[in-house]
Structure 1
């Protein structure tokens, strides 16, 4: 497939025209959203000319945006053929979650020594927001806000390089989850799984946070990896994914 499929019932292009400000980053974000929502399937070619036409821009910023996505692990470049949406397999996702476990354990260890009441309040509000999204049934937004909670921990930890690596992994994490669908039958369970992390931070107990973080991310890791077969296809028929 060379370009995103227009939504059912619509005759126009999937992507809409952009202004010229901060063009490359904005194109990269539009392409990222299209990939995560399934507009571009794994293995699909990102055709510069078609994307440029749909967005109302020249091909040069599209090419630069594709290179940004390559750096973020969402697309791969093939010599003389162009850019293609990356195809994940269970090995990729297992390694992504393994690195996330290491990063977030360390972020928590840094944060317990510097957590302020304001930080704790913001984290608590984020968990409450996850519960509100569960009530609303907004699964896609819940995934975004779930990852935002973890990013907040990395931000509050104060290590900019750690945060940079976390951000690089986030796109890959979102892509993996997007290909699978929801991880839990009860949407409130997503919010509840963050409560032990918050409790450990408030208690300023690095050991308890490490254990809670390993369990939290490790459980997601097991579920996500189990839903992928050895050839990289999501196991949508697996009872655990229903």
Structure 2
């Protein structure tokens, strides 16, 4: 089946809507429970309401927004149980990935340098002049860049596929974790401990460092 240019354009606009709303949520423009108005999104992007509706359907399927009949669309409110479940899935899969990296000797010195550079960029963000909310968002992005690099290096395509499918929920969970309990500098420098144990090939200490990197686990909130 050949997709017409008009259908392709509509699909492309739908993707723009999805990314726009996701970034607005991460930036705090939309908070948990906030009402998202189709007309406002359409005006902000300079498009019709049709692709906005399609984008909202996609976000609803991902569990990011909740559509209430005859009331409208709202940003889904994540309970602590939801956050824990996302982190549990992440730990299960990422621990497997750490095992692959160590047992199969997947990381080179160049890879370790790349990871350390990402941490350095995170520290620079912490020491920058932006407000705390913007710093948290940028740290969150760099944090995910660090871990996605590790995921990809494992060569475990199915595990990576599952982690990528919950990528936004992971970003939301990490932002929640940092905003509620975290010290941004600690969040950034915790990654050195993960690298240290990856270098020494100490799997158990590496797993422990990953778990303690998630503040809510470290502080016993789960």
TM-score range, shorter chain: 0.7 to 0.9
Deviations 1:142-171 (A, max 9, x none): 121112211211121122332232233332
Query: Does residue 34 of structure 1 match 2:24?
Result: yes
1:20: how far off? 8.0
**Structure 2 residue aligned with 1:157:** 154
**What is the number of equivalent residue pairs in this alignment?**
206
More helix by share: 2
Provide Cα deviations, 1:8-51, integer angstroms capped at 9, x if missing partner.
xxxxxxxxxxx989322222111111112222232233232332
State how 1:218-237 maps to structure 2 within 5 Å. 219-221=215-217, 223=219, 225=221
Deviation at 1:191, TM superposition (A): 2.1
1:121 maps to which of 91, 97, 113: 113
- Specify which of 128, 131, 140 is matched with residue 137 of structure 2: 140
TM-score (norm 1): 0.73
Question: 1:160, 1:70 → 2: CA distance?
Answer: 26
TM-score, normalised with respect to structure 2: 0.79
Answer 1 or 2: higher relative contact order, Cα 8 Å, separation at least 6. Answer: 1
What is the SS of the residue equivalent to 1:211?
helix
Q: Answer yes or no: is the 8 Å Cα contact 1:72–1:171 preserved in 2.
A: no
Q: Is the 8 A contact 2:87 2:173 kept in 1?
A: no
Match of 1:213 among 207, 210, 213: 210
Say what the alpha-carbon RMSD is for the aligned residues: 2.7
Equivalent of residue 65 in structure 1, options 48, 55, 69: 55
In the TM superposition, residue 206 of structure 1 has moved relative to its aligned partner by: 2.7
User: How far apart in 2 are the matches of 1:166 and 1:225?
Assistant: 23
Name the SS of the counterpart of 2:74 in structure 1: strand
SS at match of 1:136: coil
Mapped partners of 2:115, 2:208: distance in 1: 19
The unaligned stretches of length 5 or more in structure 1 are 1-18, 227-242
